[in-house]
Structures are given as structure tokens and as C-alpha cells.
Amino acid sequence: MSNKKYDVIIIGGGHNGLVAATYLAKAGKSVVILEANPEIGGATQSVKAFPGFDAHLSRYSYLISLLPDKIVTDLGLSFTCVSREVSSYTPYGDKGLYVSRKWDEKTSASFNELDPTGQEGQAWQDFYAEVAEFAQRIAPTLLEPLKTRSELMAEINLPKVWEYLIENPIGNEINKRFNSDLVKGVVLTDALIGTFTSAYDIQANICFLYHLMGNGTGEWKVPVGGMGALVKELIRVATESGVEIKVNSKVNSILSDDAGVTVETLSGDKYESDYLLSNAAPQVLAKLRGKPQPESLDGSQMKINILLKSLPKLKSGIDPRLAFAGTFHANESFSQLEQTFEDASAGLMPANMPVEMYCHTLSDPSILGKDLQEAGYHTLTLFGLHTPASLFDADNDAAREVAFASALSSVNEYLAEPIQDVIAAIEVKTPLDIEEAIALPRGNIFHKDLSMPFREDETDPSWGVETDDPRIFICGAGAMRGGGVSGIPGHNAAMAMLSNN
Ligand SMILES: Cc1cc2nc3c(=O)[nH]c(=O)nc-3n(C[C@H](O)[C@H](O)[C@H](O)COP(=O)(O)OP(=O)(O)OC[C@H]3O[C@@H](n4cnc5c(N)ncnc54)[C@H](O)[C@@H]3O)c2cc1C
């Protein structure tokens, strides 16, 4: 037994645990973080994934949008993200739809090539202008106690947008606004990342919202130095504020009563505190407390990290430095996404996997050593959609091989040379691999299903981080308004706990 009683124990050293810890320590609380792994960071770690190569990759999460500037400022994080000038590139036949971050002539010309009437381009601009306005109004509420559905609707005061983003399936609005299957698919992908759902299920709306509301702009930026740079800064501010961090300390049990909380680690160490914050997923917390585990969707993505000797050329002839600088979509038309969802629901591994990729080093080469940079190496992050954990249950190794082959052939359909020819090193992670590495239940990248960012009318006031035990709070992605690299649940759990004192 540690002879010190802490004010707060935090289970898990993901970025949210670090955010919560620092807010609490700055408020004068004694805090210890117990992390199961030898590395801090959870899904935000950067690692040298490829032995022999000086490449420091964001192993899991790779782009940042949801982290509010307020948290960066409050905690004094010296950390920067850079914009990607290219938003996306989606090849079709021997052409491709190119979209800049800001609407420009090149984007306009590309939309016109797809749809000479100009309607599709106009629909795109109108739709995203409306969504941007909504994002701007909702973002500041994410760091406040939860509003009720009616309060939030009144505060945002965009009834038409509220209706299609919150109340009706987003698939209906996408079909109403756009004609091209390809364009519809590009829009839809934001509703499906890490979420195994149909375009016609409200779960897709929630995922869409989280991908479009970050920091009031929804822009996805590249963390300079990779996600590990954020973790490094969070560790710095936490330890400077007095937080104790213990790695290789997997929590095995939690006991809470009137006197306080006691946790025990696998190696038998015991810690006591007045409060406990769980950065581990709600299912993990429930198990540690001996409670029934809440239900949640399977994680549903393949994550492939690739080191390239050079960028592959494309059939469409576009400069690969443009095609891969933003999100590169392959086989992600609306109908392909819906069909793949149906197939995967029936137990079939996607034959032509919908994938998206992006090249970190085109925006931020600093994650590669000088020698690799000079030799023209690049990194590529590939995300395969609609590959739920259930498809890997019977034989993870065999299913990984099949899924990997499907992902590569999907990409190769649009390349002038097989990607295999330029791969220097690669790692492939299924949802089950991710669960094993960092305890994301069934590989769900958001810990559990994302939830709408409000509470229902006539429910008790809350921050969306509370549990049935007043000493225990959720400070990780599994809280309401959690999910993604945001620090929001970390902030909110700290505020909820402090408001109890
Ligand atoms: C492949 C992948 C790609 C993603 N891409 C993006 C992206 O580009 N942008 C984005 O915003 N989000 C992305 N996400 C989602 C995002 O990374 C996560 O939602 C977020 O990082 C979760 O942060 P967290 O701090 O709440 O939890 P985690 O990062 O999951 O940290 C929880 C920590 O708790 C520890 N832990 C668990 N159980 C115990 C225990 N019993 N004892 C002690 N410690 C324990 C774990 O080891 C882990 O370190 C991605 C996630 C994945 C997996």
C-alpha cells in the first residue's frame, strides 16, 4: 500500500487523463496517474513503429480537430498544428475530385469536370457553410455543463440545420443535397469513421457532428511532431503541476465506499484516494468495479501505418504530393459504403475495402530523420472502413491477411504502380489488435458509441462524466462529449469533481 492517500487517482494515462490530472493539480489536488502500459499517451502515442527506420509515427490517432484552443491555453501547452492545404482527393476512373481546404479555382474546376452544371459544387459550398455556422455555435458549449436538448437547440438557433444534423438521418439530407454518388460518399465518410453504422442511422449523425464541430471550424490539422508531441507537452505540464505518473501499473480492481477509494494493480500495489477518475473505457471501469459492462458498438476500422520509399504515382496523373496531402478516398462512394455496411453486417469482409489515407510528412516532415527525408521517404496512414471486430473474432491473424489484401487492392485500383513496390515497412492493426494494445473495447476508437452533446429534457444537471458512484467520474473518450483527441472529457471530469468540493 502506498503510504500516501491522494485526493485523486486517475486510471489511464491517455491524453484525457493527463488533461484532467493537470486541471486538478493546478487546483491544488494531489493526483496520481496509473497507466497500464510502459508508454503514456494511449491512442495518442507516437512510436518508432519500424525497427531500423528513424520514423516517429502517430501510431493510432493522427489528426487533431476537437482539441479546444481554451485547453491549450489553460494548460500552457506549447504545441502546434498545421493546416493541410488540400482537404481531399477522390479518384474515379482516370480522373479525380480535388478539394482544397478553402474553396478555390482548382476545386471549382474539379467539381465542374464531375458536374458541368455547377450544381454539385454549389451544393457542396452551401452545405458546408451551414454546417460551419452550426459548428461555431456549438463548440463553446462543449466545455460547459450539459445543456438539455431544448436549451441547446434554442441557443444554437439554426432550426433547419438542427433538424437535419440532429433529428433526421444524415443519409437523407446527403441524398437530398447531392446527386453524385461519389460526392455523397465523400460527405458521408465523416459520419462513418470508427463507427459501424448505416447512413440512415442517427449514430451516423453523431459521428458526423464530431467530425465537423471541432474548435468551431471542424478543420482537421496535422500535429507538428506527431501526436507524441502533444503527449510530451501534456506530460510536461502535468509533472510540473505536481502530478505523479506511474507506468506499468495496470489497475486490477477498484473498491469504493464511504471512506474513499482503493485500487489495486496487477502487481499488487494498492493506492487510496478520495476520488477516482477513469480514463479507461466505461466497459473497463465496469469490469474493474465488478459491475455489468455497458453495451457498445464494435470498433470497425483497420489501421495501417506505412513507410514509403517514395510516393506512388496515380493513374489520373495528379501530382501525388497533392493527392496524398489531404484525405485520399478510395472506393468510398455512398452506394459502396452502404453496400459494404450491409455485407459486413452479414459477416463478409469488405472485398473492395473503402479506405482513406493521408501522408503526414507532406505537411510535417519532422517525424522522419534527416536521412529518410533526403532519400524521399514518406509516411502514409491508411484507415479501412466497415471492418467490425466481429469479422476478426474467429481467426484474427487470417482475417488480418484478408483485410490487408483488400485494402491494398482497393488503393491499387487508382495507382499507376502497385503500392507494394514503394513500401519500405508496414504495420497492420485490426480492431482486436487495438483492443489488446490499449484496451479500447472491441477496438472502438471512441471507447464506446459517441453520444449527442446534450442531455434529454427533464434529466438531472450533469457534465456527462458522472457515474452511479459520487466518488467516480469518467475522464476519457467514453464520457458524453468524449471521443477523439479533444481533452474535453478530461476537462469536464475535472470541473465536475471540483464542483463537488
Ligand atoms: C486507430 C485510431 C485512429 C484514430 N484517429 C484519430 C484521429 O485522427 N483524430 C482524433 O481526434 N481521434 C482519433 N482517434 C480517436 C482518439 O485517439 C481517441 O478517442 C482518444 O485518443 C481517446 O483518448 P483517451 O485519453 O480518452 O483514452 P485512451 O487514449 O484510450 O487512453 C486510455 C488509457 O488507459 C489505459 N488503461 C486502460 N485500462 C487500464 C487499466 N486497467 N489500468 C491502467 N491503465 C489502463 C490505456 O492503456 C490507455 O493508455 C483514433 C483512434 C484510433 C484507435
- Is 410 within the bounds of a domain? no
Q: What is the mean pLDDT of the chain?
A: 97
**Nearest residue CA, atom 13 of ligand 1?**
61
Between the CA of 435 and the centroid of ligand 1 the distance, in Å, is: 10
The single-letter code of the amino acid at 498 is: L
Q: Is the pLDDT of residue 253 over 70?
A: yes
| pLDDT score for 388 | 97
Residue the block writes with cell 440545420: 161
Instruction: Note whether 449 and 486 are within 8 A (CB).
Output: no
SS3 sequence of 138-161:
HHHHHHCCCCEHHHHHHHHCCHHH
Q: What is the pLDDT of residues 5-16, one digit of tens each?
A: 999 999 999 999
Ligand 1 centroid to Cα of residue 140, in Å, is 23
Q: What is the reported pLDDT for 440?
A: 95
Q: What is d(CA 343, CA 349) in angstroms, rounded to the nearest whole number?
A: 7
CA of 184 to the centre of ligand 1 (A): 30
Residue nearest to atom 10 of ligand 1 (CA): 484
Q: Are 458 and 261 in contact (CB under 8 A)?
A: no
Select from 61, 269, 448 the residue to mutate for testing ligand 1; criterion: most ligand atoms less than 8 Å from CB: 61
- pLDDT over 70, % of the chain: 99
Q: Which atom of ligand 1 is nearest to the CA of 476?
A: 26
Q: Give the C-alpha separation, 340 to 189, whole Å.
A: 13
How far apart, in whole angstroms, are the C-alpha atoms of residue 481 and residue 434? 22
CA–CA distance, 423 with 379 (Å, rounded to integer)? 10
**Domain of 34: which CATH number?**
3.50.50.60
Ligand 1 pocket test, pick from 39, 434, 438 with the greatest ligand atom count within 8 Å of Cβ, gives 438
Residue ranges making up the domain that contains 289? 5-42+67-76+225-296+452-499
Q: Which helix (H) or strand (E) holds 87?
A: strand 86-92
Indicate whether 3 pLDDT > 80. Answer: no
Sorting pLDDT into bands at 50, 70 and 90, what band is 297?
confident
Mean pLDDT of the 298-324 span: 97
By most ligand atoms within 8 Å of CB, the mutation choice from 60, 380, 465 for ligand 1 is 60
- Confidence at residue 296, expressed as pLDDT on a 0 to 100 scale: 86
Confidence of residue 116 (pLDDT cuts 50, 70, 90): very high
Segment 131-167, tens digit of pLDDT: 999 999 999 999 999 999 999 999 999 999 999 999 9
Give the pLDDT band (50/70/90) at residue 4.
confident
Domain annotation covers residue 13: yes
What is the rounded distance in angstroms from the CA atom of residue 356 to the CA atom of residue 307?
A: 16
pLDDT score, position 500: 82
Of ligand 1's listed atoms, the one at least distance from the Cα of 486 is 11
Distance of CA 445 from the midpoint of ligand 1 (Å): 7
Question: Quick one: average pLDDT of 95-100?
Answer: 98
Number of structural domains in the chain: 1
**pLDDT for 1:** 60
- Condensed to tens digits (0 to 9), the pLDDT of residues 324-357 reads 999 999 999 999 999 999 999 999 999 999 999 9
Distance 288 CA to ligand 1 centre (A): 18
pLDDT band at 400 (very low <50, low <70, confident <90, very high): very high
Query: pLDDT value at position 2?
Result: 60
How remote is the CA of residue 102 from the centroid of ligand 1, in Å? Answer: 30
Q: Is the CB of 274 under 6 A from ligand 1?
A: no
> Average pLDDT, stretch 63-75?
97
164 lines ligand 1 (CB under 6 A): no
Classify residue 398: in a domain, yes or no: no
pLDDT score of 122 more than 90: yes
281 within some domain: yes
Predicted pLDDT of residue 293: 87
Residue 220 confidence (pLDDT): 96
* Mean pLDDT (whole number) for 250-265: 97
Share of the chain above pLDDT 90, in %: 98
Please give the helix or strand (H or E) that residue 383 lies within, else none: strand 378-384
Hey, which of 211, 276, 279 would you mutate to test ligand 1's pocket, going by the most ligand atoms within 8 Å of its Cβ? 279
What are the tens digits of pLDDT across the range 355-369? 999 999 999 999 999
Q: Which tens digit of pLDDT belongs to each residue from 180-234?
A: 999 999 999 999 999 999 999 999 999 999 999 999 999 999 999 999 999 999 9
Question: How is 274-332 classified by DSSP, letter by letter?
Answer: EEEEE-S-HHHHHHHTT-PPPP-PPP--EEEEEEESSPPPBTT---HHHHTTSEEEES-
Q: Residue 61: pLDDT above 70?
A: yes
Under 8 Å CB-to-CB from 68, ≥6 apart: which residues? 139, 142, 143, 215, 486, 487, 488
